[in-house]
A and B are shown apart, each in its own frame.
Chain A
Amino acid sequence: MTTANREIREIVRDEHIMRNRILRLLEGRPSTIPEIAEGLGAPPSEVTYWVMGMRKYGYVREEKEVTDEGYYRYQAIEREIG
């Protein structure tokens, strides 16, 4: 879990560039933050920033139920990227 910490400003700066990569991972397969993190090879804490930013701006939404491990799954919202 412990990873070299990046400053928040630096993490969120990557949100735009990570967005399409995350959306590709979510194509047809809603995923938890740890699953997305594994797919990206990125720390889950950074993925939380990106996914929550994408949620805020309407790119993903959560499924209603949490997994047995206590995680929400996030799915892509179909929309025009722009």
Chain B
Amino acid sequence: MKDDALNRVKYDALVIGSGISGMESALKLGDMGYKVLVVEKEASVGGKMILLSKVFPTLDCASCISTPKMGATIHHPNLTVLTYAEVETIERQDGGFRARIKQKPRFVVETACTGCRQCEMVCKVAVPDEFNADLVSRRAAHIAFPQAVPKKAVIERQGTSRCTFNCPAGIKAHGYVALVRSGEYEKAFQLVADATPLVGSLGRACYAPCESECSRGNLEGPLSIRRLKRFVADMHYAKPRVAPETPPANGMKVAVVGSGPAGLTAAWHLARKGYEVKIFEAAPQPGGMMRLALPPYRLPIEVVEQDIANVTDIGVTIQTNSRIEDLEALKAQGFSAVLVAIGTHLGAKLRVPGEDLQGIVRATEFLRAAKLGERLEVAGKRVVVIGGGNVAIDAARTAMRLHAGSVEVLSLESLKEMPAHPWEIAEAKAEGVTFRHSCGVRDFEGDERVRSINLLRCISVLDEKGRFNPKYSDKRAGTVEGDLVVVAAGMRPDSGEFGLPINPSGTFQVDKGTLQTCIPDVFAAGDAVAGPTMITSAAGEGRRAAFMIDRWLHGQAMDVEEFERRLEMVDKEAVLARQSTYRELPAGAPREAVKLAPGEFYPDEETMTEVEALDAAARCLDCGVCSECNSCVDICPAHAIDLKMQEQEIEAEVGTVLLATGYTLFPADLKPQYGYGKFKNVITGMQMDRLLAPTRPYNAVVRPGDGKVPDSIAFILCTGSRDETLGNPMCSRICCMYSIKHNQLIMGALPLADVTVYYMDVRTPSKGYNEFYEQAKGMGANFVKGRVASISEKDNGNLLLRYEDIENGTVTETEHDMVVLAVGVRPNDEAARLFPGNDLRLDEFGWVGESNEDVNPGATNISGVFVAGAASGVKDIPDSILHAGGAAAQAAAYLERHGRPATDAAALAEKLAAEPANGGAPAASTTETGPASATGSSTAKAAGVAR
């Protein structure tokens, strides 16, 4: 929140939770004229009741009863409802309370979303559907359930996925993996291309920092993310090229100096924004280091050319053999801005005696000559490469391929310290390259031509601050004879001609965030700024440069934060903790050190087959949940998706608080003898309710284990209630009745099915309940008095129940197709956590304590804080509503006794409406309805916030 004052709002009452009790309390207070703020953690109001099939004993449709109340709640003129929001703390303040509320981002602009579900239909990430009790999947982009109010989509994001977060180029790596998993290879290619046109090159030669951070790396090994990119690139390039649509021109020209990864990527983005872009390249061919330095076995030239064609296809022109030295001349040609992205093509010198002897070359020159097919005198020669980085390894391996007699790499570093990647070193060794570590060059000897190298022992490479500052012992470390010496001791840009301020390393001085030089319309990016990096890093800086140039030329703020805004990287441990077990999915054969014969420059890695690609993508853990594949963004007809939304903090001052946080269901797997979670056809009562509901997850009541219509269904009452061994001695009150409801509904849906209820005793404590019970028995439900001791599973998925038949005094086994565990309920401990110092008193079982249940129901030990419904103890629906109404009356009386705070209920809505990042909700109605004057209307007044 940029302006704290705007996030302070005042209400008469805060209602936490919007289940049937929360809605009832809020509506009652609203009808009395009080301004009420309702905070609901889920994306819809309705709580658990809306998820039920029917209610007992009337068998009225739960949805039919709930939805009018949900609509009334959301549209009531005195109610403001924040869905997908959570109260974090409540503190007493000035006679009232101050609540801190976290508004979670939906990533969907609520005012724009029409609830069409198209985002959900195309979403590529499937997760268990908690609103269907995990019986089926939902999508990361979803509407909570069909009757959701508000019926607005929400995109579940738990952070930026680690692969995506760590891609310097800004490629949505998780996104393209998810698209591959769905078989949408072309979309995957286009998603990569949204960040950089170098899809093929990065698919071959990227060092894949994404893979280093992959959460699956903590299991069997990381995903082959780079190879998946190569797969989609190869699939794309195997098809005939299709001329892309060129964007409408915006009338401005930008010059890019240099056609390496930074220049090409910047040109790509600028051209897609309508700029006329011309690249000036000093070399005879475009591509920078990708073409001139990377050996073809790592990056074939034809792949570079395919990537470059992406850029030229949308209208970018490239002028080669064109060395730019005068930036002013470019401006005179009508270019509004210039990007200097010249790379680092100069090899650094060692500055030791004899360095100018013939036979000593820079690695950049050597690799360039090799790549361009120039004649090199290498065959049969003793080649010595000086350097410990990847360029040194590239030079060494290239020399081997050019039939060198021997190749030895001399590095200052020990083997472990070498900057080159270990697999590259291993591959070089496999090809016959030898290494000599911890040695530096003292001098070169020879007449006109180098003959030998005298070495010094290097005792340290970096100083105490981590800077490159090698230290040597006085003793010589031997002499190496060589015919050709390739020096790979660093690279620097050829930056002297431009008249721009440079650093001692030769790199350009720029603003790190905007890449702007001291000349405002001249920008610099890539290795020419950062020094030698990776293709992906240079591409990322090219993307940044294009973003900044566009803003500059349009007179917009150079907003670095806007460019860099994204969610925090999701925590790896949190990702892995989502599951307690993982099926082992091999990471694929590790890259083997392949010895290529001299002269072989063909790629040392095959592209994946489609099956391999799908298997590889299937290993993804969906770290951030949403993959950012942009499928929803592309399809949303209302353009409502905004993946850059931020969480917001809201501070509410309220006169009174009502806790309507409800209850939780007993986790059935805590009764292992019943096999829940292990035997597929053992389900819970809530799952049976979902199977029976009109919005059920399946087409009928069928077994989760195999889709069979069950012939014989057993119910086990008191699962997790009245059970001292589980610390819950209380009767849950509702389990008997909801099971009897299930009995009746099943006998209606499956007339031939047998229903058996195993019980200790059946409790029917309210009006019409016993008649309901008798009715079920009359319909044929079989009630067996006996505690089930254990369940075992047969090969066909049927279940054997072993139980003591109390009435007959026998221990018996009976087979059923399906078992329903009538799980009890437990207190929801969320309410207690809201009050610092545990000020809120709970009863001995953990429910919110009432000061005096007999004469003062609803009042807690904190004056001004009330509890509504099942948060104070298990209740059926009628009792919850009754209790919630009483709590509302208590709260109203409290407000009248203590005075109402000055409310500004419209402020929050107005503020949020003005700030689309929070959903751009419409303003809450400012209709004033004073106490006792409200109509209680559920008519659709202008909606409150977050609707």
List the interface of chain A (C-beta within 8 A of B): 1-2, 4-10, 12-17, 19-20, 32-34, 37, 44-45, 47-49, 51-53, 55-58, 61-62, 66, 69-72, 81-82
On whether A53 and B793 interact (CB within 8 A), knowing A5-B678, A17-B618, A70-B709, the answer reads no
Q: Separation in Å of the B450 CB from the closest CB of chain A?
A: 57
Are A17 and B181 in touch, CB under 8 angstroms?
A: yes
Are B699 and A44 in contact, CB atoms less than 8 angstroms apart? no
Structural contact, B680 and A45, CB atoms closer than 8 A: yes
Partner of B136, one of A14, A32, A33, A52: A52
Instruction: Map CB proximity to A onto B776-798 as digits: 1 under 8 Å, 0 otherwise.
Output: 00000000000000000111110
Given contacts A16-B126, A48-B706, A56-B697, A10 and B583 within 8 Å (CB-CB): yes
**How far does the Cβ of B82 sit from chain A's closest Cβ, in whole Å?**
28
B122 cross-chain contacts in A, Cβ below 8 A:
82
Complex Cα distance, B707 from A72, in Å, reads 7
- B890 CB to nearest A CB, Å: 42
A48 and B137 within 8 A (CB): no
Known: A1-B794, A56-B137. A69 touches B698 (CB 8 A): no
> How close is A55's CB to chain B, nearest CB, in angstroms?
6
- CB contacts (< 8 Å) of B618 on chain A: these are 13-14, 17
Q: Quick check: B121 and A57 within 8 Å, CB to CB?
A: yes
Q: List B contacts of A48 (CB < 8 A).
A: 680, 702-707
Could you say which of A47, A49, A66, A71 contacts B137, with CB atoms under 8 Å apart? A49
- Within 8 Å of chain A (Cβ to Cβ): is B579? yes
Does A52 contact B697, Cβ atoms closer than 8 Å? yes
- Quick check: B796 and A66 within 8 Å, CB to CB? no
Point out the residue from B621, B702, B795 that lies within 8 Å of A1, measured CB to CB. B795
- A70 x B711 contact (CB < 8 A): yes
Residues of chain B lying within 8 A (CB to CB) of residue A37: 706
Contact of B579 with A7 in the complex, beta carbons under 8 Å: yes
When each residue 543-580 of chain B gets 1 if its CB lies under 8 Å from chain A and 0 otherwise, what string results? 00000000000000000000000000000000000111
Smallest distance from the beta carbon of A19 to chain B beta carbons, Å? 8
State whether A33 and B706 are in contact (beta carbons under 8 Å apart), knowing that A1-B793, A52-B697 are contacts in the complex: yes
CB of B698 within 8 A of CB of A52, answer: yes
CA distance A9 to B158 in the complex (A): 15
Q: Is the CB of A45 within 8 A of B699?
A: no
Rounded to whole angstroms, the CA-CA distance of A34 and B122 in the bound complex is 28
Contact between chains at B707 and A9 (CB < 8 Å): no
In the bound complex, how far is the Cα of B880 from the Cα of A25, in angstroms? 50
- Contact partners of B705 in chain A: CB under 8 A: 1, 44-45, 48
Which residues of the other chain, A, contact B580 by a CB distance below 8 angstroms?
7
Chain B residues within 8 Å of A9, by CB: 127-128, 578-579
Q: For A51, list chain B residues within 8 Å (CB).
A: 707
A71 touches B708 (CB 8 A): yes
Contact indicator B183/A1 (Cβ below 8 Å): no
Q: Check A17/B614 contact, CB under 8 A, given A2-B795, A10-B579.
A: yes
Cα(A20)–Cα(B184), bound, Å = 11
The chain A residue with its CB closest to the CB of B120 is A57
Interface assignment of B617: CB less than 8 Å from any CB of chain A: yes
Residue of A nearest to B182 (CB): A16
Query: In the complex, which residue of chain B has the Cβ closest to the Cβ of A8?
Result: B128
Q: Which residue of B lies closest to A62 (CB)?
A: B699
| Chain B proximity of A79: nearest CB distance (Å) | 10
Is the beta-carbon distance between B126 and A15 smaller than 8 angstroms?
yes
Tell me the complex Cα distance, A8–B583, Å: 12
Q: Any chain A CB within 8 A of the CB of B134?
A: yes
Nearest first, the 8 closest Cβ-Cβ pairs linking A and B are A33-B707, A44-B706, A12-B137, A45-B680, A53-B137, A15-B126, A1-B797, A70-B709
| Given A5-B678, A7-B580, A82-B122, 11 further pairs, Cβ under 8 A | A1-B705, A10-B579, A12-B126, A12-B128, A13-B620, A16-B182, A37-B706, A44-B706, A49-B136, A66-B709, A72-B700
Q: Give a binary string over B181-200; 1 marks a CB under 8 Å from any A CB, 0 the rest.
A: 11110000000000000000
Contacts of B706 in A (CB 8 A): 1, 33-34, 37, 44-45, 48, 71
Q: Is the CB of B699 within 8 A of A72?
A: yes
Q: Least Cβ distance of A3 to chain B in Å? A: 9
A-B contact pairs, 6 of them (CB 8 A): A1-B796, A15-B126, A48-B702, A48-B705, A55-B698, A72-B700
With a 10 A CB-CB cut-off, give which of A47, A52, A62 has the most chain B CB atoms.
A52
Q: Which of B121-145 contact A (CB under 8 A)?
A: 121-122, 124, 126-128, 134-137, 139
B581 is an interface residue with CB less than 8 A from chain A: yes
**Minimal Cβ-Cβ distance residue in A for B620:** A13
Bound Cα distance from A20 to B183, whole angstroms? 8
Residues of B within 8 A of A (CB): 120-122, 124, 126-128, 134-137, 139, 178, 181-184, 578-583, 614, 617-618, 620-622, 677-680, 697-700, 702-711, 793-797
Bound form: Cα–Cα A62–B707 in Å: 11
In this complex, what residue of A is CB-closest to B752? A70
CA distance A19 to B137 in the complex (A): 13
Q: How far is the CA of A73 from the CA of B677 in the complex (A)?
A: 26
Chain B residue with the shortest CB-CB distance to A82: B122
Asked if A69 and B708 make an inter-chain contact with CB atoms under 8 angstroms apart, the answer reads yes
A8–B797 touching, CB < 8 Å: no
**A53 and B136 form a contact (CB under 8 A):** yes
Please determine whether A52 and B135 come into contact, CB atoms closer than 8 angstroms.
yes
List, in ascending order, chain A residues with CB within 8 A of B702's CB.
Answer: 48, 72
Residues of A within 8 A of B697 (CB): 52, 56
Across the interface, which residues of B come within 8 angstroms of A44, CB to CB? 705-707, 797
Tell me the bound Cα distance from A19 to B126 in angstroms: 12
User: Which single member of B124, B707, B797 contacts A16 (CB below 8 Å)?
Assistant: B124
Asked if A82 and B184 make an inter-chain contact with CB atoms under 8 angstroms apart, the answer reads yes
Complex Cα gap A34–B381 (Å): 67
> CB < 8 Å: which of A17, A45, A66 contacts B704?
A45
Residues of A within 8 A of B121 (CB): 57-58
Please give me the residue from chain B that is nearest to A14 by CB atom.
B618
User: Cα distance A9–B623 when bound, in Å?
Assistant: 12
> Within 8 Å CB of A34, what residues of B?
706-707
CB pair B183–A71 under 8 Å, yes or no, is no
The residue on A at minimum CB distance from B635 is: A82
Query: Please, which residues of chain A bring their CB within 8 A of the CB of B796?
Result: 1
- The answer for the CA separation of A43 and B89 in the assembled complex, in Å, is 46
A52 to B183, CA, bound (A): 20
- Residue B583 contacts which of A1, A6, A61 (CB distance < 8 angstroms)? A6
Task: State whether A15 touches B708 (Cβ < 8 A).
Answer: no
Hey, which chain A residues are within 8 Å of B183, CB to CB? 20, 81
Which residues in B have their C-beta under 8 angstroms from that of A19?
182
- Residues of B within 8 Å of A57, CB to CB, are 120-121, 139
* With A32-B707, A45-B706, A72-B707 as contacts: A55 and B128 at CB distance below 8 Å: no
- Which residues of chain A have C-beta atoms less than 8 A from B581's C-beta? 5-7
A56 to B123, CA, bound (A): 13
Give complex CA distance A12, B622 in Å. Answer: 12
Residue of B nearest to A54 (CB): B137
**In the bound complex, what is the Cα–Cα distance between A65 and B680 (angstroms)?**
24
| Structural contact, A71 and B709, CB atoms closer than 8 A | yes
**Most chain B CB within a 10 A radius of its CB, from A16, A34, A70, A81:** A16
Q: Which residues of A have CB within 8 Å of B124?
A: 16
Give bound CA distance, A78 to B58, whole Å: 41
Instruction: Name the A residues within 8 Å of B709 (CB-CB).
Output: 66, 70-72
Select from chain A the residue with minimum beta-carbon distance to B579. Answer: A7
Of B135, B580, B707, which is in contact with the most chain A CB atoms at under 10 Å from its CB?
Answer: B707
- A15–B707 CB distance below 8 A: no
Residue of A nearest to B615 (CB): A17
Chain B residues in 8 Å Cβ range of A72: 699-700, 702, 707, 709
CA distance in complex: A32, B709 (Å)? 12
C-alpha gap A71/B679 in the complex (Å): 19
Cβ–Cβ < 8 Å partners of B614 in chain A:
17
Q: What CA separation (Å) do A7 and B127 show in the bound complex?
A: 11
The distance in angstroms between the C-alpha atoms of A17 and B611, with both chains bound, is 11
A56: which B residues are within 8 A, CB to CB?
Answer: 136-137, 697
Residue of B583, B679, B795 with most chain A CB atoms under a 10 A cut-off: B583
A42 to B711 alpha-carbon distance, docked (Å): 24
Contacts of B710 in A (CB 8 A): 70
